[in-house]
């Protein structure tokens, strides 16, 4: 893993390093403006909108380990997305004996001082012992950990991220409701930046 690497190759490396992973899930959805981007006076219904597959009627796609490592199927799906839609990865992965583990994933908050946010996030994830990469997502940053965690550890991870005040609190609430995390891995007109690695945390990766 290296600075400048795009999200597709980051996911491929995480899967390749975690040999227990047998399958992952992705879904296609249409992103909407977040709370910061919405005009004042939006209804509570809009504020409670969640981008999970159940609420958006998103199409869930299961991918085998080899297809993710080669990135062929991911790229094929992205190339054939309808305008305005994006592909997102879900944190849940299937391992041996049909057990479910998680890839630690987090959406950082939007802040005016992006350099300070990045520096603080590097310190936080390093201090808590999470190895991985922080990717620039355009408006802010995404974090991906390289070590799989179980459900209880995932809930703890979400809790620590919330306490840090560096991460998007609404994002954390949505993911806890869903029971898994998700982050986009492609771009569209509303979200025009393909996430790429801005910083690496921990060694070796």
Residue 59's pLDDT band (cuts 50, 70, 90): confident
Task: Give mean pLDDT, residues 54-71.
Answer: 82
The residue among 171 and 55 whose pLDDT is bigger is: 171
Q: Which helix (H) or strand (E) holds 7?
A: helix 7-17
pLDDT at residue 162 tops 90? yes
Give 104-152 pLDDT, tens digit per residue.
999 999 898 999 999 999 999 999 999 999 999 988 999 999 999 999 9
Alpha carbon distance, N-terminus to C-terminus of the chain: 6
One-character DSSP codes across 108-165: BPP-S-HHHHHHHHHHHHHHTT--EEEEE-SSSEEEEESS-B-HHHHHHHHHHHHHHT
Mean pLDDT is highest, among 12-16, 46-50, 52-56, for 12-16
> Are 190 and 31 a contacting pair, CB within 8 Å?
yes
Alpha-carbon gap, residue 172 to 149, rounded angstroms: 17
Task: State the residue for tokens 């009627």.
Answer: 57
> Are 163 and 204 a contacting pair, CB within 8 Å?
no
- pLDDT given at position 187: 85
- The pTM score is 0.88
């Amino acid at each position: 893993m290296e600075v400048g690497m795009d999200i597709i190759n980051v996911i491929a490396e995480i899967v390749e390093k975690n040999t227990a992973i047998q399958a992952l899930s992705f879904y296609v959805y249409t992103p909407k403006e977040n709370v910061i981007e919405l005009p004042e006076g939006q209804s509570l219904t809009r504020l409670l909108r969640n981008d999970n597959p159940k609420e958006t009627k998103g199409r869930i796609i299961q991918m085998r380990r080899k297809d993710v490592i080669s990135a062929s199927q991911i790229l094929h799906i992205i190339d054939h997305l309808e305008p305005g839609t994006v592909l997102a990865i879900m944190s849940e992965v299937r391992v041996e004996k049909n057990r479910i583990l998680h890839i630690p994933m987090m959406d950082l908050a939007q802040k005016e001082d992006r350099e300070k946010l990045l520096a603080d996030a590097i310190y936080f994830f390093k201090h808590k012992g999470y190895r991985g990469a922080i990717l620039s997502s355009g408006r802010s940053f995404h974090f991906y950990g390289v070590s799989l965690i179980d459900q209880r550890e995932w809930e703890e991870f979400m809790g620590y991220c919330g306490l840090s005040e560096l991460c998007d609190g609404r994002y954390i609430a949505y993911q806890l409701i869903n029971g898994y995390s998700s982050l986009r891995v492609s771009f569209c007109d509303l979200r025009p930046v393909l996430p790429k690695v801005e910083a690496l945390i921990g060694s070796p990766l």
